[in-house]
Structure 1
Amino acid sequence: MSKHSFKLRAVAVCILVLAGVVLPQPAGAAVGLYDIPEQYLASPVDDTGAFSGWAYASYLSVMNYRLKQGWTTPLLNVDDLVFNHGFEYGPNDGGQWYMSTAYMSRLSGPLTAITGQRDLFLTGSIVYEGQAAMKAAVESDTALYVDVYDQYGHYADTATIVGYDDSITSWKIRSQAGDSYVPYAQCDTYGVSFETAENNIVTGAYQYDYFGQVTYMQRPAGIDTLHVANKFHTSAEEELAAVGFYTIGENVGYELRIYGSHLLGGAPQNHLLTMTGTIANEGFHVVDLEQIINLASGQDFMIWLKLDNYLYAVDMPDEDYCGSVWDGEGMSIYTYTGDPWYVLSDYYDSANWSIKAYTIPEPGTLALVAAGGAALLLRRKRIRLR
Structure 2
Amino acid sequence: MKNSLKKLLSLLLTSLLLTVLIPGSAWAEEEITEPGMASLNPAFVQYQEDVNAGTLNTSIIDGHGRGYIPPPLKRYEGMADTEITSAQTLPAAFDLRETGRITAVRSQGDYGSCWAFASLASLESYIKKDTTVDFSENNLMWNSGFDGSPDDGGNYSMATAYLARWSGPVNESSDPYDTPKKTGLSPVYHVQEVKSIPELPSAIKQALMDGGVLYTSMYSVPLDGEEYYNPDTFAFYYDGTEEPDHDVAIVGWDDNYSRDNFSKKPEADGAWIIRNSWGADWGDGGYFYMSYYDTYAGSNVTAFHNAEATDNYSAIYQYDPLGNISAMGYTDGDNTAWGANIFTATASDNLMAVSTYALTPGTSAEIKVYTDVNDGKPNSGTLRTTQTETFARGGYYTIDLDNPVGLVAGQKFAVVVKYRTPGTNDSVPVESRFENYSSAVTANPGESFTSNTGTGGWYDTSKKSLSNVCIKAFTQSRDTFANCLYRTHVQDQGWQNWQSNGGVSGTSGESLRLEGIEIKMDTRGYDLGIEYATHVQNQGWQELKSNGVMSGTEGQSLRLEAIKIQLTGADATQFDVYYRVHAQNVGWMDWASNGGEAGTAGFGYRLEAIEIQVLPKGSPAPGLTGQPFLENK
Q: Conserved in 1, the CA contact under 8 Å of 2:349 and 2:476? A: yes
Q: 1:49/1:111 Cα in 2 relative to 1: closer, same or farther (>3 Å)?
A: farther
Measure the CA separation in 1 of the matches of 2:306 and 2:274. 22
Shift of 1:156: 2.5
User: Which residue identity lines up with residue 185 of structure 1 in the other structure?
Assistant: Y
SS class of match (1:134): helix
Measure the CA separation in 1 of the matches of 2:136 and 2:333. 52
User: Which residue identity lines up with residue 34 of structure 2 in the other structure?
Assistant: H
| 2:274 alignment partner in structure 1 | 173
SS class of match (1:237): coil
Work out which structure has the larger RCO, using CA pairs closer than 8 Å and 6 or more positions apart in sequence. 1
SS class of match (1:198): coil
| 2:383 alignment partner in structure 1 | 271
Task: Give identity over the alignment, percent.
Answer: 24
1:157-236 residue pairs with structure 2 within 5 A? 157-165=246-254, 166-167=257-258, 168=261, 169-178=270-279, 179-181=286-288, 182-186=290-294, 187-189=296-298, 191-200=301-310, 201-221=312-332, 226-236=337-347
- Which is higher, the Rg of structure 1 or of structure 2? 2
Shift of 1:218: 1.1
Q: 1:88/1:284 Cα in 2 relative to 1: closer, same or farther (>3 Å)?
A: same
Q: 1:335/1:163 Cα in 2 relative to 1: closer, same or farther (>3 Å)?
A: closer
| Count of residue pairs the alignment pairs up | 359
Q: 1:301/1:284 Cα in 2 relative to 1: closer, same or farther (>3 Å)?
A: same
Measure the CA separation in 2 of the matches of 1:365 and 1:104. 33
Q: Conserved in 2, the CA contact under 8 Å of 1:208 and 1:328? A: no
RMSD over equivalenced CA pairs, Å: 3.3
| 2:440 alignment partner in structure 1 | 324
What are the ranges of 5 or more consecutive residues in structure 2 without an aligned counterpart?
1-30, 48-55, 62-91, 175-185, 221-237, 262-269, 280-285, 483-521, 528-569, 574-633
2:354 to 221, 226, 243: 243
Measure the CA separation in 1 of the matches of 2:438 and 2:117. 18
Q: 1:162/1:379 Cα in 2 relative to 1: closer, same or farther (>3 Å)?
A: farther
Q: Conserved in 1, the CA contact under 8 Å of 2:429 and 2:470? A: yes
Shift of 1:326: 4.9
1:1-386 residue pairs with structure 2 within 5 A? 3-10=33-40, 12=43, 14=47, 32=93, 34-37=95-98, 39-47=100-108, 50=111, 52-69=113-130, 71-72=131-132, 74-77=133-136, 79-89=138-148, 92-96=152-156, 100-107=159-166, 109-112=167-170, 115=173, 118-126=187-195, 128-129=197-198, 130-138=200-208, 142-149=212-219, 151=238, 152-153=240-241, 154-165=243-254, 166-167=257-258, 168=261, 169-178=270-279, 179-181=286-288, 182-186=290-294, 187-189=296-298, 191-200=301-310, 201-221=312-332, 226-267=337-378, 268-309=380-421, 311-326=427-442, 328-337=444-453, 338-346=455-463, 348-363=464-479, 380=524, 382-383=526-527, 385=571, 386=573
Q: Conserved in 2, the CA contact under 8 Å of 1:333 and 1:343? A: yes
Shift of 1:304: 0.4
Measure the CA separation in 1 of the matches of 2:524 and 2:478. 14
Q: 1:340/1:364 Cα in 2 relative to 1: closer, same or farther (>3 Å)?
A: farther
Shift of 1:134: 3.0
Q: 1:177/1:5 Cα in 2 relative to 1: closer, same or farther (>3 Å)?
A: same
Shift of 1:47: 3.4
User: Which residue identity lines up with residue 216 of structure 2 in the other structure?
Assistant: V
Q: 1:332/1:157 Cα in 2 relative to 1: closer, same or farther (>3 Å)?
A: same
| 1:371 alignment partner in structure 2 | none
Measure the CA separation in 2 of the matches of 1:365 and 1:85. 40
Measure the CA separation in 1 of the matches of 2:248 and 2:112. 13
SS class of match (1:61): helix
Shift of 1:228: 1.8
Shift of 1:283: 1.3
SS class of match (2:372): strand
Provide the TM-score with structure 1 as the length reference.
0.80
User: Deviation string for 1:116-163 (max 9, x for gaps)?
Assistant: 894422221345553244345545671111122353232121211123
Q: 1:271/1:115 Cα in 2 relative to 1: closer, same or farther (>3 Å)?
A: farther
Q: Conserved in 2, the CA contact under 8 Å of 1:223 and 1:336? A: no
SS class of match (1:324): coil
| 1:24 alignment partner in structure 2 | none
Shift of 1:88: 1.9
User: Which residue identity lines up with residue 176 of structure 1 in the other structure?
Assistant: S
Shift of 1:111: 1.7
Moved more, 160-169 or 228-237: 160-169
Measure the CA separation in 2 of the matches of 1:364 and 1:142. 39
Q: 1:33/1:42 Cα in 2 relative to 1: closer, same or farther (>3 Å)?
A: closer
Q: Conserved in 1, the CA contact under 8 Å of 2:352 and 2:525? A: no
Q: 1:4/1:246 Cα in 2 relative to 1: closer, same or farther (>3 Å)?
A: same
Shift of 1:48: 5.5
Could you say which structure has the higher strand fraction? 1
